[in-house]
Amino acid sequence: MEIRDATPGDWASARATDLGDAVDGAFSVVDLGQDRLVTRREALIADAHVTITKTLILGGDRRTPTLESQVRFEHRDGPAVDARLGLEWALTMLGGGGNPSAWWDVVGTRTGHDVAGEAGGVTRLAQGNDYIGIAVETVLDEPADAWWAPIETVSNSESGFERVYQGGALLLSWPLRLSPGETWGRIVRHRVTTDRDRADEAM
């Protein structure tokens, strides 16, 4: 949960101000099944007391697994919440050095997986690597602002300090105003597809 006027650059460089403690504490397990996990936590966001419920649902099969993420906020007490709520994922697509096989595809535009970008009103996007034959499609139940940026570390080699690509981070966010007694929720679905069976290739 960040200030409403946070920018993609603030997020990518870790300068955005977090308004609450939702990312710091542990969630309690409410329900655990073979393909389902429900967790809950009481959190404080800008002096407002909220209950956060997260649900993860696994589906699909070995070649096309799916992951559905549901998040629900219930404002229990305190002032209205006026913020930007973000859900973040990080994956590597082996896209360092401008690898043309690794990509983001957002609003019909494909870019390298080691570059940053942003788009508004997004309901569907994808990322993948054509060389290894994998793609991850993300579908949202409501339009969101999508920000993405490379995850990079700095290493010291014979040539000096180098910036090294480790993966790509994706933030899906929504401006949110929530008054006492109100609830808010979103659903994000990820679907992996593969164009070859590595198990067959290993035989």
Q: pTM of the predicted model, to two decimals?
A: 0.90
If 0-12 CB within 10 Å is exposed, 13-18 middle and 19+ buried, where does residue 70 land? middle
DSSP of 157-177: ETTEEEEEEEEEEEEEEEEEE
Rounded CA separation 75/38 (Å): 19
Residue 41, in any domain of the structure: yes
Q: What is the pLDDT of residues 86-117, one digit of tens each?
A: 999 999 999 988 999 999 999 999 999 999 99
Residue 106, in any domain of the structure: no
> What's residue 133's pLDDT?
95
Residue 188, in any domain of the structure: yes
> What's residue 28's pLDDT?
97
Percentage with pLDDT > 70 across the chain: 96
> What's residue 5's pLDDT?
85
> What's residue 1's pLDDT?
61
Residue 31, in any domain of the structure: yes
Rounded CA separation 37/106 (Å): 29
Q: What's the domain range around 28?
A: 8-87+119-143+173-202
Rounded CA separation 126/137 (Å): 4
How many domains in the chain? 1
Residue 19, in any domain of the structure: yes
> What's residue 96's pLDDT?
86
Residue 151, in any domain of the structure: no
Residue 23, in any domain of the structure: yes
Residue 93, in any domain of the structure: no
Task: Specify the DSSP element, H or E, that contains 123.
Answer: strand 117-129
Q: Any idea what the CATH number is for the domain that residue 139 is in?
A: 2.70.98.10
